[in-house]
Amino acid sequence: MNVSPLTHHDYTVGWICALPNPELVAALFMLDVEHPRLPRKQADTNNYTLGQIGQHNVAIACLPQGEYGLSSATNVASQMRMSFPNIQFGLMVGIAGGVPSLPDHDIRLGDVVVSKPGIGNGGVIQYDYGKALEGDVFESTGWLDAPPAIVRTAIGTLQARQMRWGNEFLKFLSVFDGNEIFKCPGPEHDNLHDAHDPTKVLSRPQRSENIVVHYGTIASGNALVKDAKKRDSLRAKHDILCFEMEAAGLMNSFPCAVIRGICDYSDTHKNKQWQPFAAATAAAYAKCLLGHIDPIKIDRPLGHGKSKSSAREAKA
């Protein structure tokens, strides 16, 4: 039986990352099968890696080198949807700066944060968009959509299974075994400093799990946050779990789940040591999530993937 070659119409999941290294690299490790490239659609400047993850055909794209922020993410997503018209939902997968809040949110480096709709938001807020009021008060405005229902129900299932059987996504980290770049730096290199005295390392209780998944609000904006006091102020105002720089540019035009691995604490001690491992944990969770979403059958148009002569025979 001859299988028709895949076309742009056969891809139903869009995976977007911001950094070629380590985010795109980690995404490539998650592919079960890589597919041949397809001709570029006119005006699409994205570069795609196509493949299969579980039962899903996935198109993976990364922001252009040197570009960050909301507008770049919006451009990548809009071009992806133009080239792959049957994409049903997206995944924004990568690294982020954590916003720990003991004892409520004991976020550690390497943990995963997944966007979850909360009171008054869809799971992602744009913290730097709003109105400047009297008294140096800034009020965030606007609404960002929640992930699609099919994704939210799968996330709920994963959250329940995590409570019953632990983090099933950890098995997908095995593909990084032996890779020194993506090796976990270890808890001895995970230090949370006091926001008011950066020289002081805070004491935290031991955890039974090395990697924890946190569900809640993600703060998105155009500025990189490296200020512990600002971090804590925004946490108190919005109950956020992490900072990143792309999701707010996607939520209203590219329905997606935001999955972030924590690589620093959004303070002056920010560095790149944990970035590869954090990218790996986020990518592994994304792959596990896809395994809990049933694939969508796409009906091919008559003659799709066939020669013109075979299409005419089908009509006869």
Cα pseudo-dihedral 151, 157, 159, 160, rounded to 10: 160
Compute the distance between CA of residue 95 and CA of residue 18 in angstroms, rounded to an integer: 9
Instruction: Supply the pLDDT for residue 93.
Output: 98
What's the distance, CA 277 to chain centroid?
A: 14
- Is residue 101 packed enough to be buried (19+ CB in 10 Å), middle (13-18) or exposed (0-12)? middle
Q: What is the mean pLDDT of the chain?
A: 90
pLDDT for 82 beyond 70: yes
Nearest alpha carbon to residue 128 among 146, 144, 141: 141
Mean local confidence (pLDDT), 154-172: 95
Which residue in this structure is represented by tokens 């089908």? 314
Cα pseudo-dihedral 188, 190, 193, 198, rounded to 10: 80
In this predicted model, what pLDDT tens digit does every residue of 240-259 receive, in sequence order?
999 999 999 999 999 899 99
228 neighbors 234 (Cβ within 8 angstroms): no
In this predicted model, what pLDDT tens digit does every residue of 17-72 receive, in sequence order?
999 999 999 999 999 999 999 999 989 999 999 999 999 999 999 999 999 889 99
103 prior amide bond cis, ω within 30: yes
Instruction: Supply the pLDDT for residue 301.
Output: 54
Reported for 180-184, long-range contacts at CB under 8 A and 24+ positions apart, including other chains, are 181/22, 181/276, 182/22, 182/26, 182/29, 182/276, 182/277, 182/279, 182/280, 183/276, 183/277, 184/110, 184/210, 184/277
Instruction: Supply the pLDDT for residue 119.
Output: 86
Amino acid in position 32: D
Compute the distance between CA of residue 286 and CA of residue 278 in angstroms, rounded to an integer: 13
**158, β-bridge pairs:** none
Amino acid in position 10: D
Instruction: Supply the pLDDT for residue 68.
Output: 87
Specify the pTM.
0.91
